[in-house]
Structure 1
């Protein structure tokens, strides 16, 4: 059966020509992503930090936004976009509600995939790894850095649960604000018990660079027993 739409789109014609000088990023059209760029320990960290800095310099919207993939207890995968809040040798971290859809999925299957889609720079980076909660002191430090309005929202929200309407959500946030002295008050808002950070212990990292005629460049680093192996992948 043919899909019906009031605004049919020619998806087959939506093709982007990669490898142009205008969008190739700092690597340039003549310089190809190579396995030799994966250096250090872990071998993905230096290149990822450089690409992230270049995404910031290129004013990519939300350069630290990543698509987080999880698998629930029912075996069904789900993805959503989350902001990365930490990068280092231990892995990549983000913060969310423990009882949210992704929090429950991570409790059932503590593994995740992460994708940073910097398409405007013809780049993507993909990570996989096991996930653990970060320590309370790490969560507290990040919580203290958040704007007060964001703290109120996180304290209020039963993330992923239904609510009657927008008015009910705003009323709940207002009650939380009043409880702690108002949106402009100086009474500290504590970290809610249902909220905190996760650390993805990266065991696979892949870097993707768009190139002409879909002959893209892909390199990966995979952690084995006490070592990292690197390889070029076919597009």
Structure 2
């Protein structure tokens, strides 16, 4: 490990950002106490006003970064409307940050079904019971909805709600940041014109 905390060769020309992100996420899984896959997702509404909230990254590969949500929620509607989003990972224990942004696509039904069925039963029921981002008249109303859907799906598999699926952010930029002394941090950005174009690496001033 170098004095920057980066593995030797992390930022060489041979590396590409998805592989590098995989190394950093693995380090975070060993270092972070809670939810190393937690990430802030930023969206924009129809008036151009930004929103940001925390979600959990559920998958990534060279196609992009995947998380799941209720498409009728505020973030779901904003992403479906703009088809663009940004993410920011911050691992305080490692003094590292990764930012990315790009176009968004909906994952396939097969991907969404497979992940949905892997969730705990309570989470599957909750996806039906919660009218995410809409006013709730009281906690009892939510608990009543949970009870109703629990009874409805008491036998057999709980099907995936039609309004619940996943988004994949296909980044056109990914920036890796690592803390160094005197605020002379390391910043490396990988850029490409489109999700199918080759990456170009740029070192940035901190």
**TM-score, reference length from structure 2:** 0.93
What is the CA-CA distance between 1:60 and the residue it aligns to? 3.4
- Which residue of the partner structure matches residue 182 of structure 2? 213
Contact 2:4/2:178 (8 A) holds in 1: no
| Segments ≥4 residues shifted beyond 4 Å | 30-35
| 3-state secondary structure, aligned to 1:36 | coil
| 3-state secondary structure, aligned to 1:79 | strand
- Which residue of the partner structure matches residue 89 of structure 1? 62
Which has the larger Rg?
A: 1
Matched, 1:160 2:133: yes
Aligned length: 203
- Which residue of the partner structure matches residue 229 of structure 1? 200
Matched, 1:29 2:21: no
Q: What 5-or-longer segments of structure 1 have no aligned partner?
A: 1-26
Aligned with 2:75 (options 78, 83, 102): 102
* C-alpha distance after superposition, 1:138-160 (max 9, x if no partner): 10010111110000001111110
Change (3 A) 1:208 1:60: farther
| 3-state secondary structure, aligned to 1:160 | coil
Q: Distance between the aligned counterparts of 2:4 and 2:110, measured in 1?
A: 46
Contact 2:32/2:91 (8 A) holds in 1: no
Q: Distance between the aligned counterparts of 1:167 and 1:66, measured in 2?
A: 30
Q: Distance between the aligned counterparts of 1:50 and 1:214, measured in 2?
A: 24
